[in-house]
Structure 1
Amino acid sequence: MRETKHPETALELKSVTAGYDQYAPVFVDLSLSLPGRGLTMVSGRNGAGKSTFLELCSGYLPPWHGQVRVGNRDARDPQSRAARRVCRTDVSLYPSMTVRDHLVFAAHCRGISPDPGLKRAVRYGLEPWLDHAAKELSTGNRRKLWLTMCTLGEFALVMLDEPFNGLDSAGIELLSAEMCAWATHASVVLIAHDPPATVAADTTITLDGCSGASPGSGE
């Protein structure tokens, strides 16, 4: 199997001004970069722009000014999707589709085998629910399915927004271990108000809206 070569810089924002209301930008002249591997914690008060930051990096929200690059490509470039994974806070599933069908469909969209995703789902405790519709799942099991779907395959950058919400202790332990493993060869960005103690960030970025971002060293 050919080894995927990841860029030295996984994510870069250059002089980015962005927001949703032209009279009230969330960021003005924001610049930062993240290395090709390691775990970065993104923190900040409510309204500081954490979700906006994620949407800029996802390519969904275009900046008014400046550049957002994933690896060496513009974040909005369709080819950036191959290198990036984004797991948003809100779980979005098809109510009548089974767990198995969600994972097969997500793998098909990525052009990969569904087997690794199905094995991960089993490790998350979803085996009894593989042939149940998503609407029958508990909140925690919906989160486990969502996390697995959003992080299939190989990637250079993964961004997770409050991924521990609703998880049981076993799910928290497994996700923490997965994140630590990903961070050895990819850039992992975590947005979480109360991350578990088992997740140790290499770098912390504190967002403060229009004031930009303040980088800090990890613990």
Structure 2
Amino acid sequence: MTDGIPIEITGLTKRFGAVTAVEDLSFTVAPGRVTGFLGPNGAGKTTTLRLLLGLERPTAGTASIGGARYRDLPRPLETVGAALDAAFHPGRTARNHLRVMATAGGIRRNRVDAVLAQVGMSEFADRRVGGFSLGMRQRLALATTLLGDPRVLVLDEPINGLDPEGIRWIRGFLRSLAAEGRTVLVSSHLLSEVQQSVDDVVIISRGRLVKAGSLAELESEVSPRTVIDSPDRARLAAALDQAGLQYVDGRNGLIVSEPDPAVVGHAAFVGGVEVSALHRLASGLEESFLALVNGGAQ
């Protein structure tokens, strides 16, 4: 591999009429690393990727790949491989799909067998795509992005809906691509999906950047917290407010920025609230992610 190519997003803004999908967004994706582009559904991730790939025009700011806009790259498919909303003709075989894509992109047809082998699909090459599982379709989408042997990979929710075996495979595959010096940007709405795959994270919410840095930095910032729940969350929230405790909504209760469950439980007791769960949070990384995208403490 030659020198890596960074992705640079600077002051990027996109408005659709009165709706601002992306606002003043800036971050860099480094070569040789897997970067998780994270945020809840509707946060602006797909819009950002479409702006990066020239599928939308920005209202303001720039999105560049190695210092150039996608549309200005001399041979874009040999620089960037992207999988956004991959669509396949169900009657075509995997091999034929890749041949069509290679011909359309001016790519040598001998790359077809190479990428089929790279994603472990050689034995399925002549099967019709209509009979593929979701995992096999994800592999075919990856094979399509690799046709031009690009140094930059942009993948939108590649792990979504996969079974555990498929998740393990794609995690290792992404790592191997980054180890070759490629720039790998992977979007997801759940940190837990990509936590074992990524080196860096870019977290956005409501179209704005809320965190960018290494995963290790994010992990180091996680402080002990307490989870509490009640059949009546509204009354529980009121009791925590009365006690001056800060909290955010979690999947299994309210996550309180107080490490001692006794203090949190006492607040619920004083408020006369029935408690159905109360425990110290063992690993708060995903909860910290949720706190960031939900706008911090209530």
- Please confirm whether the aligned pair reaches a TM-score higher than 0.5, indicating the same fold: yes
Cα distance in structure 2, aligned partners of 1:107 and 1:167: 26
Alpha carbons of 1:110 and 1:167: their partners in 2 closer, same or farther (altered >3 Å)?
Answer: farther
Gaps of 5+ in 1: none
Q: How far off is 1:48 after superposition?
A: 1.1
SS in 1 for 2:140: helix
Alpha carbons of 1:62 and 1:139: their partners in 2 closer, same or farther (altered >3 Å)?
Answer: same
Gaps of 5+ in 2: 217-298
Alpha carbons of 1:137 and 1:217: their partners in 2 closer, same or farther (altered >3 Å)?
Answer: closer
Q: Percent identity?
A: 26
1:203 aligns with 2:200: yes
Contact 2:93/2:126 (8 A) holds in 1: yes
Alpha carbons of 1:44 and 1:197: their partners in 2 closer, same or farther (altered >3 Å)?
Answer: closer
Which residue of 2 is the match for residue 17 of structure 1?
13
1:189 aligns with 2:190: no
Q: How far off is 1:78 after superposition?
A: 4.6
Cα distance in structure 2, aligned partners of 1:14 and 1:30: 6
Q: How far off is 1:38 after superposition?
A: 0.7
Which residue of 2 is the match for residue 119 of structure 1?
117
Contact 1:30/1:213 (8 A) holds in 2: no
Q: What's the CA shift string for 1:18-41, capped at 9, x where partnerless?
A: 13x121111222222222221111
Q: What's the CA shift string for 1:159-201, capped at 9, x where partnerless?
A: 11111234344433332222111112011111122425541x2
Q: How far off is 1:75 after superposition?
A: 2.5
| TM-score, normalised by the number of residues in structure 2 | 0.63
Cα distance in structure 2, aligned partners of 1:24 and 1:197: 31
Cα distance in structure 2, aligned partners of 1:131 and 1:78: 33
1:82 aligns with 2:78: yes
Matches within 5 A, 1:162-177: 162-177=157-172
Q: How far off is 1:152 after superposition?
A: 2.8
Cα distance in structure 1, aligned partners of 2:26 and 2:34: 19
1:98 to 79, 84, 93: 93
Q: What's the CA shift string for 1:104-150, capped at 9, x where partnerless?
A: 233343513222112135x24x61x3222222223332222222212
- Supply the RMSD in Å over aligned alpha carbons: 2.2
Cα distance in structure 2, aligned partners of 1:167 and 1:147: 14
Which residue of 1 is the match for residue 256 of structure 2?
none
Q: How far off is 1:215 after superposition?
A: 0.8
Which residue of 2 is the match for residue 131 of structure 1?
126
SS in 1 for 2:166: helix
Aligned residues: 209
Contact 1:55/1:61 (8 A) holds in 2: yes
Q: How far off is 1:207 after superposition?
A: 0.6
Cα distance in structure 1, aligned partners of 2:158 and 2:62: 27
**Higher RCO, 1 or 2 (CA under 8 Å, sep at least 6)?**
1
Contact 2:204/2:211 (8 A) holds in 1: yes
Cα distance in structure 2, aligned partners of 1:38 and 1:93: 29
Contact 2:37/2:187 (8 A) holds in 1: yes
